[in-house]
Amino acid sequence: MMTRPAPRRHLNLFVVGLFLLFVPTSVLAEEQASDENPDHYIRVKKDANGEDAFLETAIVRFGSAGGEGGLVVDLIGAVHVADRSYYEKLNTLFRHYDVLLYELVAPKGTRVPLGGGSGQQNPLSFLQNMTTEMLDLDLQMSHIDYTAKNFVHADLSPDEMAKAIADRGDNGVTLFLSIASDMMREMNRQDRSQDEPSPADALAEIDLFSLFLQPDGDSSLKLKRVFARQFGGLSNGSGLGKTLETILVDDRNQAAMRVFQSEIAKGKKRIGIFYGAAHLADFEERLGKDFGLKRTKIFWLPAWDLRDHSPASGNGGKDW
């Protein structure tokens, strides 16, 4: 078992992917919504030559089936590290909502200052800084304006999250065993034949240690493309396994829906829900079943520029 490198590479992808999609600590391409749910809320957009151009996240709009009531709800998917221009566009978009519900596992009443705060040193902040350096991207917490008056916290506190876990009868040991079992099951499901390249194979070709010590544009671009393809291949659901899905998605989405219902009761008509893209499938199901809302439009916003802007590529500077 210990001689197989592939599972460890899958685990590397899993850990960083978990951070990118779940941990936060007109510029839009519009499409009419189909009657069927989409396969993805995050995608890789190709250019005319079939090359990876952008990693894009979805903004999915909902309204009542008959159009009555005037309620408009946007599910705004996010990745928590992205190009700075992505967050600038989101800040502009957020001004148009009566209320913007946002995720943040933090005590009630927590307000994120402009710039994301003092940047205290801990393992999570180290991972955040390392990821932004290696991928040549910026942190969501550093560039989203959480001080806006229409921002409303819609997430669990750490104590509430711990209580939800304890109420199910779980403890540290049972969680560890359940998560490990889920991860092994997911890795086995993702195993491919040796003839078919996988994101883990592509990751193995990149010298991550050297990239961390001395980031360079070529390696950062390669690494971004690896993760973009991985995220773009995620179908409905998080791919985390049942245990983490319950803790990171189900419990927190339930909390957000309680705040959502409270804001509707206050008469708010134009509501944005700003959460990691992996939360959107569950949110969409809840909006349909519990509130009778139907998808009306999909917008796509570029989060990562995946184009090669080196002089040799002929693409020049960023133009979006």
- SS3 string, 119-139, reads CCCCHHHHHHHHHHHHHCCEE
Task: Pick 120 or 259 by higher pLDDT.
Answer: 259
**Each residue's pLDDT tens digit, 31-77:** 544 444 455 789 999 999 999 999 999 999 999 877 677 899 999 99
Cα distances (angstroms) measured from residue 146 to each of 137, 253, 255, 274: 19, 19, 19, 11
Is position 291 within any domain?
yes
Pairwise pLDDT comparison (169 vs 177), residue with the higher score: 169
> What percent of the chain is modeled with pLDDT above 90?
41
Written as six digits, the tokens of 305 are: 């520029």
Using DSSP, state whether 155 is helix, strand or coil: coil
Question: Any residues with CB less than 8 A from the CB of 238 and at least 6 apart, and which?
Answer: 21, 22, 244, 245, 248, 249, 278, 279
How many Å apart are CA 43 and CA 58, to the nearest integer?
A: 8
Domain count, the chain: 1
Rounded average pLDDT over 153-181: 85
What mean pLDDT is predicted for residues 178-203?
59
**Mean of the pLDDT values across residues 6-34?**
46
What is the three-class DSSP state of 57? strand
80 in any annotated domain: yes
Residue 46, pLDDT score? 92
Residue-level pLDDT at 40: 76
Indicate whether 1 belongs to any domain: no
Residue 313 lies in a domain: no
Q: What is the CA radius of gyration of the chain?
A: 20
Mean pLDDT within 143-150? 96
**Which amino acid would we find at residue 186?**
E
The pLDDT assigned to 194 comes to 44
- 166 belongs to a structural domain: yes
Phi (first) and psi of residue 290, to 5 degrees: -90, -25
Q: What is the domain range of residue 10?
A: 6-306
Residue among 57, 54, 32 nearest 45 (CA): 54
Beta-sheet pairing, 42-46 with 72-78:
unpaired
- pLDDT of amino acid 205: 53
293 vs 63: CA distance, rounded Å: 5
In a domain, 37, yes or no: yes
For residue 113, tell me if it sits in a domain: yes
Asked whether residue 156 is assigned to any structural domain, the reply reads: yes
